[in-house]
Structure 1
């Protein structure tokens, strides 16, 4: 993600026109967790919303979300969906899609593709990405696909802890304060409202008193 952010900032892609992000979990969470998780958008895809803002440097101005609860009964009982898709419009006109599922039997898959007028790049594609090509010369299925977030993002968690300690010691400013978290949460809330009301939602509709905290 850092490399993608640098590529966007350096103009390597030219005008960014499309971003595609996905988070797919290998198997459903425990029903007890599911019931109190806040749902797919708040619990899982919120990380994609957060990183989308960070990589592009843009704000989300409009979302349309839909979801399917056709999987196990536990999702319907929790009022949640097992698979979701979101179309987001950024403030410069860039279009982004974020998709996610808790039923990806091939393995744990987290990726982001960024396409511009000059170039296209992908984050999260390696020899353990649980995807295979149908092309004769394409990459085969991974021998050891990623199984979950702890394994996939172990080095990132270590970097987070190191950064946290440095902030506490006063050695660096906080790179992501509560306002960044709040913006991601507002997007997730807009997605949930969009799914339930079957309409596009502007995150600004939900800000209300939170607007002061963001300025």
Structure 2
């Protein structure tokens, strides 16, 4: 397959490594607004570098979009119009109106699109989903989600990120829907600024929490931080009438017990999202290539990405207006 990769930054470089070594990829073209950055990434992989426009015009079999969020909608729309199966990192767009426009364009063209929510490809989350759906947890009553980064992103990133709920917790909102099979009906969110002033200056927070009510009455809680000194902490706890399962509770969890004589977990904590989810990212790209080849359906459509974005929008609105927000308001 001839595959294009748009974006030669950090996430693009990781995708390039998987694409360059994948047996389904015979020709890899890398495009970036900074041509020299594209060339530096392409060289060691034996790939070709060009401008994003040139890559999109190269009769591709598939394209991976790993550019800044502000460019996703345009590039994804162009791929659909050209009939090229596309993978796009979340989110589809920085706002709801544009996300809906892209959703409608993708549906009209019928081109398969895969939006990147890598937690769906993590073994722990997949096992938890099976346990919920086959009834091993009994009737699900409570879910708790944690996403905490060991250090904050730079100020220039925060200014254009859309805020912690759209940028960071959108992963939690997607995986909540995917694992439980339920929809979020309402969100009540709060936040605080305990660190650098540039979060508040951007209208964002560095510490977050939310309570969500699902459509079957299940209560889900969420907490997050940009300053988690213990390490990279991503977990999901699911409690039902027949048991409790926890995703992310392994020997490298960023936790320490306060109980005397308990030294678990024994390993060094995860340091960042890439280290924690590298196998999931590899599986995600492999599945996308199979989708582009036509052997599997999209594992995360634009419609599904829209649902996670709606929850993020509701949480952001709740944070700024200090009230419970029903998803029906946004629909």
Q: TM tier, shorter chain? A: over 0.9
Which residue pairs with 1:52 in the alignment?
Answer: 176
Which residue pairs with 2:292 in the alignment?
Answer: 168
Q: Deviation at 1:69? A: 1.3
Pair 139,122 (structure 1): closer, same or farther in 2 beyond 3 Å: farther
Query: Max radius of gyration: which structure?
Result: 2
Q: Specify every segment of 5 or more residues in structure 2 that has no aligned partner in the other structure, as ranges.
A: 1-124
Q: Deviation at 1:91? A: 0.3
Report whether the alignment pairs 1:133 with 2:281.
Answer: no
Report whether the alignment pairs 1:3 with 2:124.
Answer: no
Within 2, Cα distance between the matches of 1:196 and 1:205? Answer: 15
* TM-score normalized by the length of structure 2: 0.61
Q: Deviation at 1:175? A: 1.7
1:114-150, Cα deviation, whole Å (9 max, x unpaired): 0001100100111111100011243346542111111
Aligned 8 A contact 1:131 1:142 in 2:
no
* TM-score normalized by the length of structure 1: 0.94
Q: Specify every segment of 5 or more residues in structure 1 that has no aligned partner in the other structure, as ranges.
A: 208-215
Alignment of 1:1-215 (within 5 A): 1-140=125-264, 142-207=266-331
Within 2, Cα distance between the matches of 1:139 and 1:63? Answer: 37
Q: Deviation at 1:59? A: 0.3
Number of residue pairs matched by the alignment:
207
Pair 184,170 (structure 1): closer, same or farther in 2 beyond 3 Å: same
Within 2, Cα distance between the matches of 1:86 and 1:171? Answer: 39
SS state of the match for residue 153, structure 1? helix
Q: Deviation at 1:203? A: 1.2
Higher relative contact order (Cα pairs below 8 Å, separated by 6+ residues):
1
Which residue pairs with 1:213 in the alignment?
Answer: none
Q: Deviation at 1:195? A: 0.7
Aligned 8 A contact 2:250 2:265 in 1:
no
